Chains A and B, each alone.
Chain A
Amino acid sequence: QVQLQESGPGLVKPSETLSLTCTVSGGSISSYYWSWIRQPPGKGLEWIGYIYNSGSTNYYPSLKSRVTISLDTSNNQFSLRLSSVTAADTAVYYCARGRIYCSGGRCFLDWFDSWGQGTQVTVSS
């Protein structure tokens, strides 16, 4: 049974860069879309982006200019960097494993079968 665990600072100052790492255990980083998803206080889920084990990435359009997701296969980890943060980036951040579905030569992220427990990140001076 795969397990995901987020780690990183719980407090980030405005205009700085948020950095989180997700450690995957009980399975290898292959053939999935490894994703970051966030949830602002009292609000719904927002997908941030994913990385595939080839290193290819895909980001939510409104965050694309500030987001970088990277992969460390030797340590079974993937990471999120979100630059120029503001209070609006305050949220619980989840890492998740996305199942891939391919049809007609095109592939997409189908559903999330495993989630981390989430980590609270607050943006404040």
Chain B
Amino acid sequence: SYELTQPPSVSVSPGQTASITCSGDKLGDKLGDKYASWYQQKPGQSPVVVIYQDNKRPSGIPDRFSGSNSGNTATLTIRGTQAMDEADYYCQAWDSSTVLFGGGTKLTVL
């Protein structure tokens, strides 16, 4: 079955760029051929979409959030990371009639 793999944790200094990857794992079926979305979840809160369809930002999401998806890897990039960006981030895609989530990445802003 298809799986989405994320690093458990990423650390970044304030003002720097954070990159969180999401790797697809299924022979002959690349994540780059699907749409990837990204969700931010802060403690005790519901997830909020920050990127959809690989690189689109919903209204209200700062332009420091961007996304890309190519080959077997989707990437969420946060430029000029702020303390308020510290959260868990989940990638999501669709495969074989199933919604898949990555395991999540805890972003720490040191």
Contact = CB atoms under 8 A, between A and B. Distances in A.
A113 B49 contact: yes
B97 A58 contact: yes
Nearest to B104: A44
Nearest to B34: A108
Interface residues of B, number: 22
Contact of B37 (A35, A50, A61, A110): A110
Provide the main secondary structure of the chain B interface: strand
A90 B52 CA distance: 29
A45 B98 contact: no
A101 B47 contact: no
Interface string A108-125: 111111011110000000
A62 to B, nearest CB: 9
Interface of A: 35, 44-47, 50, 58, 60-61, 94, 98-99, 101, 108-113, 115-118
